[in-house]
Amino acid sequence: MQQHYRRLARSTALILLGLLLAGRLAAQLCGEPGRDGSQPVGEVVNSYFTGPDTQTLSAGSRDLSLSRARGASPLMAGDLALLIQVQGATIVTRNDPRYGQLQDHQLHAEWVRVELLEGSTLRVRGGGVDGGLKFGYSNQPANGQQGRRRWQLVRVPQYDSLSLNQDLKALPWDGYTGGVLAVDVRRKLALNGHHLDASAGGLRGAAAVSLLGALGSPDDWRYASPTEEDRKVAYGHHGSKGEGIAGTPVLLLPEESGYPGGDMARGAPAAAGGGGNALDLSHRALASGGGGGNGRAGQDGLPASGGGKGGAVAPVALVMGSGGGAAARSQGEGGEGGAGGGVLLVRAAGMLGPGALLSRGGAGVKAGKAGGGGGSGGTLWLDLPAGSLLPVTLDLNGGKGAAGGGSGGAGQRLMAGPQPWPGFVTLPVDGAQGGYRCRPAGHWVSGVVFEDNGAGDPAAAFNGRQDQGERALPGVAFRLADGKGMEQTVASDDAGGISLRLSEAQSRGQSMTLSVTLPDKRLLPLVPDIQGVAGERQGEGIRWPLSATADRHSGPLLLGLVTLPEWRAPATQAVAAGGKAVVTFRYLASLSGHVQFRTDSPAVSGLLMDRGCSGNSERWNSGSRPRWRVAAGEELCVRVPVAVADLPVDIAVGAVTEADQAPPGFRVPEQTAATRLTIIP
């Protein structure tokens, strides 16, 4: 009970932090970092959920129906979860050597935040449009053209720090849920000699079945699965294929129909291992199963290629290791394939050894002179700060084959972003960010840069908030430095956001300075504070003095700039001596208010306003110098009649902008645009 109240207290504090960061700055989607404390309860820390057998989730959706659950922890608002399509690949199903080739897969995954759970209906927030899912997900039973599709939702604990005193494991995949071990750690993960272990927790190895023969051929690549009645009289041929990303054999899931065209024989469906062929009609010459995931083929019989084929290389995705194929058997049980490794995901501010990250494939089982293929290694995915060390053992090897069964291939090493780790491939996963990114243990400075011009509502100009219609300003450069060599620089992104983070070790209470140089043609009407820290103007830049403190967030800094109006003169043109010309200047308003145009050129008799830039004059500006009303985003034209004698004429016109709602002391400097009229020879 005390743990429950502590968790609620953490949640409340972090929700308040989330409210502080709400608005346009919060392009970064977060859960509630640290809400699960610092000590896991038991060796299985994840919970697993899936939906009805025919539920499809479209991209952009936010509501899920749940029908199955495993694990100790229920879902709650603020939880972090991983949504992952476990199965759904499409393969070639012809009964020839092309069998099992991967045609397509939609094996997506993304991080989501749980928003609400009412009965069996769950609402989440993802990284897609309007907080929906970025990808689509599908649960569908197998049919004659496609193996089964299956997604699951995995609750991922959000630890403040994690120092292990035992190994952590994944619940094995059971055809619906499991096979994933994932943790999110705001500070560092200390293994203390223990393991994070998803070994043999992935897609299952093929089940062995004792058969006496049927009408199969030694050249089969696929063959019909024996029915329950067939198995009672041992009527059937060949060994079963392993479970993989393209489907599940009926021997492992009797309520569905298995792979298209049948589950038996040597063909390898995508990354899963093929079953050993019986090789002759009397079922006397047997062969072993193939290994999963780039695994080896099983031992040969008659013909020489009768061993189960090794599975293909898995696609680069968060995929479980695939199961090995079973051996063909004529007497007794045994000869099963090994299970693949699971998916192991770690997001942390750092990792301390010694210890091991394991997702090995399971070994095949021996039965007489034939054996099953090994499962392939699983997938390891790491999200750690750039430059992090890996002082731990990594083992994603495939399982060994038994009695001639093929060994499984090694699994994949993936990382969220570039790292100096050999053998790793970069695979970003969209959605909610890691706790160490959302709530760093060191000092964090954040902000957003936007045009505070009231483009959607003139009354909202200069209010220090990004309101509807006010665009983000990317590319504005910031610098954070301590004067002793430590320096970070960042430019605002497409959403105008900036984020500068110091590690816990870098946050020692030292004095820091955050500075920004205002871009060309941008003005800062008001210098904002950063949580009470006043900014200071220095030439064309602004600086804020800070103190680097662990567990401290400075921000969000709301930097509202305005852009100078665009005031353009026409290109130089040639006119006849003694004639007249009308040249057109263009004004694009960046602020709502008034603008006044003026010229001291003696050749100009007045200014002609063309509000719609249509070529039609609205009125002469002769002597009275009227102030013209403009709205942000509006374009005006000023037509200038010029009398030309016999010498070139230089024409300069000034534009004076007076913005509505302007704070005291702020003014837009007068802008001058000039052109020249030359004489036609």
C-alpha distances in Å from residue 91, one per residue of 28, 244, 260, 440: 37, 11, 9, 44
CB-CB contact of 142 with 155 (8 Å): no
Residue type, 557: L
CB neighbours of 369 closer than 8 A, spacing ≥ 6?
A: 286, 403, 404
- Kindly tell me the sign of the dihedral angle through the C-alpha atoms of 439, 440, 445, 446: negative
Q: Domain residues for 112? A: 2-156
Residue 661 and residue 579 share a domain = yes
The verdict on residue 592 lying in a domain is yes
CB-CB contact of 120 with 55 (8 Å): no
Residue 571 and residue 551 share a domain = no
CB neighbours of 519 closer than 8 A, spacing ≥ 6?
A: 473, 475, 476, 561
pLDDT for position 440: 86
Spans of the chain, pLDDT less than 70: 1-27, 279-285, 301-304, 330-333, 618-625
Residue 571 and residue 555 share a domain = no
Taking the alpha carbons at both ends of the chain, their separation in whole angstroms is: 96
- What would the pLDDT profile of 33-55 be if each residue is shown by its tens digit? 999 999 898 999 999 999 999 99
Q: What is the pTM of this model?
A: 0.75
The verdict on residue 263 lying in a domain is no
Residue 580 and residue 554 share a domain = no
Residue 663 and residue 535 share a domain = no
Rounded to 5°, angle at Cα 520 from 515 and 526: 55
For residues 644 and 601, what is the distance between their CA atoms, to the nearest angstrom? 12
Residue 540 and residue 595 share a domain = no
Residue 570 and residue 548 share a domain = no
**Number of domains observed in the structure of the chain:** 3
Residue 590 and residue 499 share a domain = no
pLDDT for position 332: 64
C-alpha distances in Å from residue 352, one per residue of 141, 191, 507, 529: 43, 6, 20, 38
- What would the pLDDT profile of 430-470 be if each residue is shown by its tens digit? 999 999 988 888 898 999 999 999 998 999 999 999 999 99
pLDDT for position 77: 94
| CATH code, 445 | 2.60.40.10
C-alpha distances in Å from residue 459, one per residue of 463, 561, 659, 661: 9, 16, 11, 7
Residue 130 and residue 14 share a domain = yes
Question: Is the bond preceding residue 648 a cis peptide, omega within 30 degrees?
Answer: no
pLDDT for position 45: 97
Residue 552 and residue 624 share a domain = no
Grouping H, G, I as helix, E, B as strand and the rest as coil, residue 17 is helix
Residues 618/621/627/630 CA torsion (nearest 10 deg): 30
Of the three residues 561, 591, 624, the one that is the final residue of a domain is: 561
CB-CB contact of 287 with 275 (8 Å): no
- Kindly tell me the sign of the dihedral angle through the C-alpha atoms of 333, 337, 338, 343: negative
Instruction: Give the residue from 275, 288, 210 showing the smallest Cα distance to 244.
Output: 275
Cα-trace Rg, the chain: 34
Residue 500 and residue 584 share a domain = no
The verdict on residue 642 lying in a domain is yes
Residue type, 315: P
Residue type, 552: R
Residue 597 and residue 470 share a domain = no
The verdict on residue 475 lying in a domain is yes
Grouping H, G, I as helix, E, B as strand and the rest as coil, residue 6 is helix
The verdict on residue 626 lying in a domain is yes
pLDDT for position 5: 35
Q: How many helices (H) and strands (E) does the chain have?
A: 3, 43
Q: How many CA atoms lie within 13 A of 136 on its CB side?
A: 11
The verdict on residue 584 lying in a domain is yes
pLDDT for position 11: 40
The verdict on residue 546 lying in a domain is yes
CB neighbours of 48 closer than 8 A, spacing ≥ 6?
A: 69, 70, 71, 152, 153, 154, 155, 171, 177, 178, 180
Q: β-strands 150-156, 47-50: how paired? A: antiparallel
Of the three residues 528, 561, 594, the one that is the final residue of a domain is: 561
